[in-house]
Amino acid sequence: MTQRQERLFVLELSGDGRVFSVNPDGTDKKVIVTGCRYPDGVAVDVGAGHIYWTNMGSPPVNDGSIERVDDSGIEVPQGETGEIVIRGHNVMKGYWQRPEATSAAIRNGWFHTEDLARVDPDGYFWIVGRQKDLIIRGGYNVYPREVEDVLYEHPAVADAAVIGLPNPDLGEEIGAAVVLKPGAAATAQELRDYLKRQVAAYEYPRKVWIVDALPKGPTGKILKREIVPPADGQALS
């Protein structure tokens, strides 16, 4: 049994569609299944990031294909970040009575998911963010999810959202809105210093602010487009 098969073997599905013991070491995690179990693989959502599991050299579903491409539609090498595109009989043919949206999403027979991902040596697809959330700071690509994952490791952080802020010199600057856990104490400056130690120099948010709550949709997803940063000079508290 290969390492990839061992990882698939330990997925235990419960009746409500959740997965337990997603790690080979038996770590108990509750995650939501975002794909279906197929002979060739499984796709699961582990909360902080998605994992698309497929056997190396095998399609994720029968007669299906999955690739990662750059902005020009050219497949990117292993280890580099690209947009996940898929095609196959299981992929939708288009949006109902929305030809423009269909043309934007399905190009040359490939459905563009807008998920940005890297592939590790074992063939796992690790999503690092959404294409629309990508921040370009001074020519560097910053994936908000990667910075958010570090924030969530801080013991005082309950919720976090990293967004791009307009900047006349860099194009975009990085900002982070943070909700603290009940009873927790941390200042925005402390959180910024924490991130500065954990991520690359171009990735850490120069502006951090603490809020009581973040805007969310009916499913609990954070609505980044509705986040309003404080005025300059008030972002750090």
Three-class SS string for 117-165? EEECCCCEEEEEEEHHHCEEECCEEECHHHHHHHHHCCCCEEEEEEEEE
Whether 201 has a pLDDT exceeding 70, the answer reads yes
Q: What is the pLDDT of residue 211?
A: 96
Q: Which of 148, 155, 211, 204 is nearest to 179 (CA)?
A: 211
Q: What is the pLDDT of residue 148?
A: 94
Q: What is the pLDDT of residue 127?
A: 82
Q: Which of 183, 233, 189, 188 is nearest to 211 (CA)?
A: 188
pLDDT tens digit string along 216-231? 999 888 999 999 999 7
Q: What is the pLDDT of residue 208?
A: 96
pLDDT tens digit string along 148-181? 999 999 999 999 999 999 999 999 999 999 999 9
Whether 34 has a pLDDT exceeding 70, the answer reads no
pLDDT tens digit string along 73-126? 999 998 899 999 998 887 888 999 999 999 999 999 999 998 888 888 877 778
- 235: number of Cβ within 10 Å: 20
